[in-house]
Amino acid sequence: MLKRFYAFWVVLCLCVGVLLSNISYAKGTEKLSINKQGIKVWTQQIKDNPMMHYRAETTLNTSIENAVGLILDTDRGKTWIPYVTDIQVIDRDDAAGEFVIYIKFDFPFPLNDRDLVVKGKMSKNNKGQMIVKNTAIKDPRVPLKNNVIRITRYEGDWVLTKLSAKQVKVSTSGFADPAGSIPTSFVNTFVEQQPYQMLQRMKQYVKTVKYSSDDLPSALR
């Protein structure tokens, strides 16, 4: 098995702690903010919420198993995902596809670093889609740290859809409250740019790895 256990699903979504919530989108109010290099990012302003929501998608020229294997490889993920300084697996159940992980983010000065405890559920539906739903939780096993702000409002999802033996559609959407004092303009800039940058890097990195179904947790086989 890979040295990974799920953190990368969350890391791609969060990177600077400004993303994601599993919100039902009113697609008529979405704005297509980025559409280049085969990657699309939509943003949406929700009433009474200063932070924008987003939805992003792209198509990768690889197998769904290879794409998922890359996403699950936290050791590799930490080498190419900016701002992430620590990923720890707190609990996991491969058969059930459930996990609890801790992630720490290095925010630029003068902002405080952020961290997050996430409970996730992975599944494979009858259409063969691989789905991950994540939620921020409180966990007594992960106490608060000095000078690090804990993100407590976060939900997000990922969906991987097999298009052919060598093509997979990757979709993600959501929202998070990064907590503390961060300019809304700073946050919303990352809401647009971060999904694009991460999917762009994923397109390149998936060419350098080779994972199979044997590398995946049993819940996804």
162-212 per-position pLDDT tens digit: 999 999 999 988 777 777 777 766 666 766 777 888 888 899 999 999 999
Residues 6+ apart with CB under 8 A from 110: none
The predicted pLDDT at position 26 comes to 45
pLDDT tens digits for range 119-141? 999 999 999 999 989 899 999 99
Distance, in Å, from the CA atom of 30 to the CA atom of 196, rounded to the nearest integer, reads 16
Higher pLDDT, 64 or 186: 64
Would you say how long the chain is, in residues?
221
- The DSSP element (H or E) to which 100 belongs, if any, is strand 98-105
pLDDT tens digits for range 76-122? 767 666 677 888 889 989 899 999 989 888 887 888 999 999 999 99
pLDDT tens digits for range 147-158? 999 988 888 888
- Does the model's pTM come out above 0.95? no
Q: 7-220 in CATH: which number?
A: 3.30.530.20
Distance, in Å, from the CA atom of 159 to the CA atom of 219, rounded to the nearest integer, reads 15
